[in-house]
Structure 1
Amino acid sequence: MIKLQELLKVLEYKELNQDLDIDIAGITYDSRKVEEGYLFVAITGFKSDGHQFIANAVENGAKAIIVEKDAEASGVAVIKVEDSRKALAQLSAKFYGYPSKELTVVGVTGTNGKTTTTYLIESMLKELGIKTGLIGTIKTKIGDKEEDASRTTPESVDLQRIFAEMLEDGVTHAVMEVSSHALELDRVLGVDFDRQVFTNLSQDHLDFHESFEDYLAAKIKLFKMNDKPSIINVDDVRSEAIIKEARGEVISYSINSEADLKAEEIEVNKKGVSYTLKTNQEKLAIKLNLTGRFNVYNSLAAIGTVYSLGFSLAEIKKGLEKIEGVPGRFQIINEGQDFGVIVDYAHTPDGMENVLNTASEFTKGRKIVVFGCGGDRDRTKRPIMGRIGVTLGDFAIVTSDNPRSEEPMAIIEDIKAGIEEEGKVEGEEYIIIEDRATAIKEAIKLAKSEDIVIIVGKGHETYQILKDKTIDFDDREIAREAIKQLRIKS
C-alpha cells in the first residue's frame, strides 16, 4: 500500500478532482486486472484505447485513474498527465520501491542475438555462484522459477513487479532483453541499468518505426540512460553512432576490427565453434557448444559483460564452455536420421542470412530451407527474405509463419516477388506450401543423406497466431514427429 499523494510526487500532472489521501493497493493498465484499491492507468494503445475502459476499471474497484485525455469517472480521483505510458513507468518504479537500484541489471539490445547473449550472461553468472534473474523473449526466470514470456520486454509495471519479486527471492543480478519497442514506449523508464550491451542492427520492426534511422535512435536511448559501461560490437557499422552517444566507458568486441575483446583463429563445425580470445592482457582458447560465427559475437558480448562485472577470464571460460545451447536458436533436432535438421528463430533478413551461411560451413549435401514471414509486420523485408532463401539455400519451401490478421497467401506472394527477381523456377528450385506443418513434413521427406533441413522463423515458439485464433504449434515437435514417421515407413 502507498498513498496516492505520495505516488504522484514523481509526476507532473495537470488536474485532479478528488482528495489524494487514499491508499493504492496496486497499479495496472488492463481494466480486467483491476482489483479493489487499484490505480488504473489509461493508455492510448495501437489497437485499443484504455480510456474506453475507465468505467470497467471503476466497476472492478479502481480508486484513482490516470488519463492523458479529458475523462470523467464518478467517485474516484482522476489525474491528467501529458503521457500516460511514461506516467505508468514512473509510478510503477515508485510503487515497487525502485527495485532495480538494488540489483545489478544488464540490458541487451540489438536486432539479432539478444536472447542467446542474455542466456550466456545469465548462465555464466550462475556458474560463478550468483543468484540470477532473466527477462526475455523465451522465459522470465527468477532464481530457479520460470514462466513463459509474452513479449520480449514486459510493460513497465510488470517489469518493476518482476524486479521486486527477484529481490524478494534473493536475486542479485538480472539480465534482460531490451527491445526497440520497449525503449520507444518508455517501458524501461525508471530501470537502473548497470551494463548496456549492443549486439548488431539490421532491418526489423519497420512496421513500428517510421524509418531505419528511427529504429537506430530507439536503440541508442539505452546507452544514454546512464554513465555505466557499455559493451559494443564495433564490427557493426552502426556502432559508431551508439558509441558517440554512450555516456559511460565503452568496452568493444569484434571479429574483424581492433577491439578490447577480439576473436581470432575461428573454427566452425556442426557441433560447435572454437576461437582464440585476444584481450589487451592475454590470449585464451574458447570452445563453445554452440555453432556459427554469430555465436562467436554473442559469446564475446557475454564475456565482455561478465568481465566488466569483475570476474576473471579463467572463471568466465569455465562457465561459458559448460553451456549447451538456447531453445530455438540453431537448435539441432536429432532423431537418429542421416540428414541434419535445424530450427532457428531467425525472422529478419540478417538473421536468416547468418543461419544459412553458418549451415554452409559444414553442410555436404543440400540446404533445404523452410520459411515464411509474420503478418502485421514489416512488409518490406518479405521479398528480401525470399531472395535470401533461394540464393543461400539449395531448395526452398515458402510457407506461413504467424499470419496474424493477414491472409497467409498474400504474405507468401510478397515473399515470392523477391524469389522471382532471382529468376528461380517454381517446382524446381522452390515450392509453396501454405500450411506450415505440411511444409515441414515435406522438407523432411525430401531430405537425403548429408542434406540439412533448416526451419526458420519461429524457433522456440509453441504456438501459431492465425487471424481468428492462436493454436498449439512447435516447429521442433513437428520435425521430430515427421522424422519418426519417415523411419517407420522405411
Structure 2
Amino acid sequence: MDLYEALEPLLLEGDVAFEMKISGIQFHSGKVKKGDLFVAIPGLTTDGHEYIADAVRSGAAAVVGEKELSGLPVPYYRVSNARLALARLADAFYGHPSGRHTMIGITGTNGKTTTSYLLRYILESAGITCTLIGTVSNRINGIELPSTQTTPDALQLQQLLDQSRDRAVIMEVSSHGIDQERIGATRFDYAVFTNLSHDHLNYHKTMDDYFKAKARLFGQLKEQGEAVINSHCEWGARLIDQLLALDKNVQAFGESEWNELELVRVISEFPLKFVIREGGEHHEITLPLPGVYNAWNAAAAWLTARRMGVKPFTIKQALQTFPGLPGRFEIYRHPAGARFIVDYAHTPDGFQQFLRTLSTLQPKRIIHVFGFRGNGDPSKRGQMLEISTAWSDLIILTLDNLAGVEADHLLEEMGMLADRYGGDRIVLIQDRTKAIEYAWQQAGADDVVAITGKGHEAYERNFALPAASDRETVQYLMDRT
C-alpha cells in the first residue's frame, strides 16, 4: 500500500516520503481517530480546511489539502485537487478494489436505476453474483444497505468495493459523482450510456457541460474495457464518434442496422413487448414494465450482458420474469377503479415518456401529482409543467424537498407557472400527503393518477398524514378506505 505513490501526481508540496503508518482515511473531522490521514475537501457549503485543527486534536497523523499552510504539528501535503487525492488515496488504501471485480458503470439522465436492476437480475440468473450500488439501495454480498446518494463519496465507494465478494459490481454513476471525483480512481470494464436530456443545469450550467461530465466516465475504462452506448440519443451518437476517434471499443444499441443491437419494433407498451435484432438473430421480448423507454433500458442491459458472455435464452427468460423495482411504475388500485401509479420521473424527458405511456392505457382522465425541489434545476420547471398540461386533465402541484428554500418562494413560483401554463386545470396544495389525498378523493373509475418525482424516496419532513413516502401515503389511504 503506497499512499505516496497515489498522491504524487497531484502533489504541489510536502515531504518526499510517506513513511508514517496510516490507520485510516477520513474527510469528516468528526470521524478522525488516532493515526488517521485527514483530507481537507473544499465543499460547496463548508471548507474542510477550517477543520484541520480539529482533526489534528483528534489524532490525525497527517493532513492533505489544497491550501498553502505551515506550522502544523503533523506532516501536511498540499495537492492540486483534494477530491481526486481522496479518491486515489482511498483506492490505494483498500488495495485497488475495482481491479478485483467486473466493474459496470451506468450513466445517463434517465434509466440508470432500472437498467442496473435489469442487468443485475440477468447476471444473477446466469449465476454471476452482483454488487449493486445506486439510488435505491446498495446490495453487497446479498445484503441490502441504505443508500443516501446515487454515487457514494470516494471513501465509502472504495470501502464498499473492498467489502464486496461478488464477481460483478453494477454502479449507477451520476454526473455529480463524476464531477466531484467520487469515482476518481475507479476503473470500469463496461461503461453504459442510457441517454441525456435536460437536468441538473443549476449545477452544470449548460447541456454541453453536463454531457462532458457524463463522458468522463468513458475515460476510466480498463485497457480492454468496452463502452455500451445508446445511439438513438443524439448525445449518445456524439459520444460514439468521440470514442471511436480515440480507437475505443464501442458497442452501440439503437434503431439502425449498423448497431450491435437494434430495437426493431415495439409491439405493445402495456404489457411491453418488443423485438430486437442482434447479429442475424431476432428476439421477441416481453417485459413486465410498461413504456418504450423501458425497452431502451432493457436493450442496454441485454447488450451489456451479452458482452459479458450471457446467452440470449438466459437474458430473455430473466427479462420476462423481472420482478420490478421500488418506486418505478408501482401500481395501486383505488376502490372506485382508478389506478394510482407512483414513479420517480422527475425530468422533462421523464415526464414526456411516462405520461405518454399512461395515455396508451386510454384512461378517462390522467391526474398528475408532482412538485418542485428547492435544490432542483429551476430551468426545467416550466418545461415539466408544460408537458404535464399536454397530457394531464388535472394537475395537483405540491412541494418536494425544500432543501433550504422557503416554501412560500416555491409556492409563489408554482402559482406563476400555473397561471402561465394550466390555469383552471391546476390545483396548488402545499402539503404533499394532502395533495395525494385530494387526488384520491377526485379519482373515479378508469382514471389514472400519476404521482411522480420521489418514487422510492422517503420524505425529508413530516406532513399531515402519517406516512413517510408517496408509496406509504397511497397505502395509508387504501387502508383507511
TM-score interval, normalised by the smaller of the two chains: over 0.9
Distance 1:233 1:204 in 2: 18
Change beyond 3 A, Cα 1:20–1:249: closer
1:263 counterpart residue number: 263
The yes-or-no answer on 1:348 pairing with 2:347 is yes
Shift of 1:363: 3.3
Change beyond 3 A, Cα 1:437–1:257: farther
1:175 counterpart residue number: 170
> Structure 2 matches for 1:38-77, cutoff 5 A?
38-72=36-70, 74-77=72-75
Conserved 8 A contact 1:54-1:73: no
Distance 1:266 1:293 in 2: 7
How many residues are treated as equivalent by the alignment? 473
Deviates more, 1:408-417 or 1:144-153: 408-417
1:196 counterpart residue number: 191
Distance 2:351 2:461 in 1: 21
Change beyond 3 A, Cα 1:331–1:255: farther
Distance 1:258 1:420 in 2: 47
Conserved 8 A contact 1:383-1:414: no
Q: Secondary structure at the match of 2:378?
A: coil
Distance 1:442 1:77 in 2: 61
Change beyond 3 A, Cα 1:89–1:126: same
1:393 counterpart residue number: 392
Distance 2:2 2:251 in 1: 43
1:453 counterpart residue number: 449
Distance 1:96 1:379 in 2: 40
Conserved 8 A contact 2:3-2:92: no
Distance 1:73 1:302 in 2: 54
Letter in 1 for 2:187: D
Computed over aligned residues only, the root mean square deviation of the Cα atoms, in angstroms, reads 2.0
1:433 counterpart residue number: 429
Shift of 1:84: 0.6
1:29 counterpart residue number: 27
Change beyond 3 A, Cα 1:259–1:419: farther
1:313 counterpart residue number: 312
**1:203-240 Cα distance to aligned partner (Å, 9 max, x none):** 11111112111001111111222352111111111112
Letter in 2 for 1:349: P
Letter in 2 for 1:232: I
Change beyond 3 A, Cα 1:191–1:94: same
> Structure 2 matches for 1:135-284, cutoff 5 A?
135-166=133-164, 170-226=165-221, 228-246=225-243, 247=246, 248-255=248-255, 259-270=259-270, 272-284=271-283
Letter in 2 for 1:398: L
Distance 1:206 1:42 in 2: 27
**1:233-282 Cα distance to aligned partner (Å, 9 max, x none):** 11111112211222522222125776322223423354x31111212220
Conserved 8 A contact 1:18-1:78: no
Distance 2:479 2:117 in 1: 30
Deviates more, 1:126-135 or 1:405-414: 405-414
Distance 2:4 2:417 in 1: 58
Conserved 8 A contact 2:154-2:182: yes
Change beyond 3 A, Cα 1:297–1:314: same
Q: Secondary structure at the match of 1:455?
A: strand
Distance 2:398 2:101 in 1: 44
Distance 2:380 2:358 in 1: 22
* Percent pairwise identity: 36
Conserved 8 A contact 2:40-2:64: yes
Distance 1:243 1:417 in 2: 41
Deviates more, 1:230-239 or 1:293-302: 230-239
Deviates more, 1:430-439 or 1:326-335: 326-335
Conserved 8 A contact 2:3-2:93: no
Distance 1:250 1:415 in 2: 43
Distance 1:281 1:370 in 2: 45
Shift of 1:33: 1.5
The yes-or-no answer on 1:86 pairing with 2:81 is no
Q: Secondary structure at the match of 1:264?
A: strand
Change beyond 3 A, Cα 1:297–1:412: farther
Q: Secondary structure at the match of 1:297?
A: helix
Change beyond 3 A, Cα 1:179–1:55: same
Shift of 1:151: 0.7
* 5+ residue gaps, structure 2: none
Q: Could you tell me the TM-score, scaled by structure 2's length?
A: 0.94
* 5+ residue gaps, structure 1: none
Distance 1:432 1:65 in 2: 51
Distance 2:324 2:66 in 1: 45
Q: Secondary structure at the match of 2:267?
A: strand
Letter in 1 for 2:427: I
Distance 2:137 2:27 in 1: 22
Distance 2:380 2:5 in 1: 47
Conserved 8 A contact 1:383-1:416: no
Letter in 1 for 2:231: V
Q: Secondary structure at the match of 2:372?
A: coil
Distance 2:446 2:399 in 1: 26
Shift of 1:379: 0.9
1:288 counterpart residue number: 287
Say which of 437, 447, 462 aligns to 2:458. 462
Shift of 1:420: 3.0
Conserved 8 A contact 1:399-1:432: yes
The yes-or-no answer on 1:123 pairing with 2:121 is yes
